[in-house]
């Protein structure tokens, strides 16, 4: 069940990333992120009230605060990269963030996946690398690469904080993260004054982006409590496949043969990780 939830989170993340990146090409990335976070928080706090999760022990708060900082920096950098570079390339590059929680789980937590799961982890990460495709070349491509690298590091840290906070409560960890993130984002908006451009017509899309992203985070958090963090992180990191497919189908972004091969290798990795336990 943990593997299924992790895969579900990757599909939802890929969908919200595609929509967020697409909107960031028309609107300021920081404003898009603020709107999505606000709607996500409304959904999470409603769920927390309905389920009675607000009475949970506050042990999740340190992880929620750390995760919110990592999430704000990571997502803003990711949206900027998506706005400047091809979605089908930037998203797979950022997905290498999975190396950070996997390394944390194997080296610090002492997790020991089975041989098949270990092969699957390597296959999935290799597939993501192939799916990225060697297309970013030239000085004009430097900015999306830099933003992608920043997003990679901070997303990796965020994966760890979600997993650790979810040991207390996945829902409240995400609610705390969203609440803290909103504070940081509002401060950033006041500093950089980049909130312009959002209209009433953008609100439905922002609501979908925020709610789907919030659901993905909670689903991933629950998945990490039902099995190994190393395998949940890998399965949850496959969101670039969904983003790349949506970019190819809707935006007509052309993918190279090596990228299609990457998708196939990634799927092989998913099967091995999911069934090798």
- How many residues does the structure list for the chain? 277
Q: Are 42 and 100 in contact (CB under 8 A)?
A: no
Tokens 């098949």: give the residue: 116
pTM (two decimals): 0.82
Could you give the CA distance from residue 27 to residue 198 in angstroms, rounded to a whole number?
Answer: 7
Per-residue pLDDT of the chain (277 residues; tens, 9 = 90+): 888 999 899 899 889 988 988 888 888 877 887 888 889 999 999 999 999 999 899 999 999 999 999 988 998 888 788 778 776 677 667 777 888 898 899 888 888 888 888 888 888 888 877 776 555 455 446 788 889 889 989 999 999 999 999 999 999 999 999 999 888 777 876 776 655 677 888 899 999 999 999 999 999 999 999 988 888 888 888 777 777 778 888 888 777 787 788 878 887 887 787 776 6
Nearest alpha-carbon partner for 72 in 7, 166, 161: 161
What pLDDT is stored for residue 273 in this prediction? 79
Q: Are 28 and 197 in contact (CB under 8 A)?
A: yes
Counting Cα atoms < 13 Å in the Cβ hemisphere of 210 gives 26
Reported as type and span, the H/E element at residue 187 is: helix 170-192
Residues 185-193: contacts with CB under 8 Å, at least 24 apart? 185/30, 185/33, 185/34, 185/37, 185/72, 186/34, 188/30, 188/72, 188/76, 189/30, 189/31, 189/34, 192/30
What pLDDT is stored for residue 95 in this prediction? 73
């Amino acid at each position: 069940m943990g593997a299924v939830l992790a895969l579900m989170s990757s599909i939802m993340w890929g969908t919200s990333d595609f929509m967020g990146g697409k909107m960031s090409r028309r609107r300021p990335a920081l404003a898009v992120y603020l709107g999505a976070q606000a709607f996500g928080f409304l959904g999470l706090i409603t769920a927390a009230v309905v389920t009675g999760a607000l009475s949970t022990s506050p042990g999740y708060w340190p992880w929620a605060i750390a995760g919110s900082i990592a999430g704000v920096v990571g997502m803003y950098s990711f949206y900027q990269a998506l706005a400047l570079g091809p979605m089908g390339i930037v998203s797979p590059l950022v997905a290498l963030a999975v190396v950070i929680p996997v390394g944390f789980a194997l080296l610090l937590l002492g997790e020991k996946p089975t041989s098949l799961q270990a092969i699957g982890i390597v296959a999935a990460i290799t597939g993501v690398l192939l799916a990225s495709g060697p297309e970013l070349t030239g000085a004009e491509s430097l900015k999306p690469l830099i933003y992608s690298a920043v997003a990679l590091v901070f997303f990796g840290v965020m994966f760890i904080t979600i997993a650790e906070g979810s040991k207390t409560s996945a829902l409240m960890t995400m609610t705390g993260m969203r609440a803290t993130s909103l504070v940081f984002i509002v401060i950033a908006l006041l500093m950089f004054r980049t909130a312009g451009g959002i209209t009433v017509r953008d609100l439905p899309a922002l609501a979908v982006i925020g709610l789907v992203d919030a659901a993905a985070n909670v689903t991933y958090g629950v998945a990490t409590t039902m099995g190994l963090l190393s395998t949940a992180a890998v399965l949850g990191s496959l969101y670039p496949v969904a983003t790349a497919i949506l970019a190819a189908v809707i935006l007509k972004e052309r993918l190279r043969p090596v990228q299609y091969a990457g998708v196939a290798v990634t799927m092989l990795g998913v099967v091995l990780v999911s069934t090798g336990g």
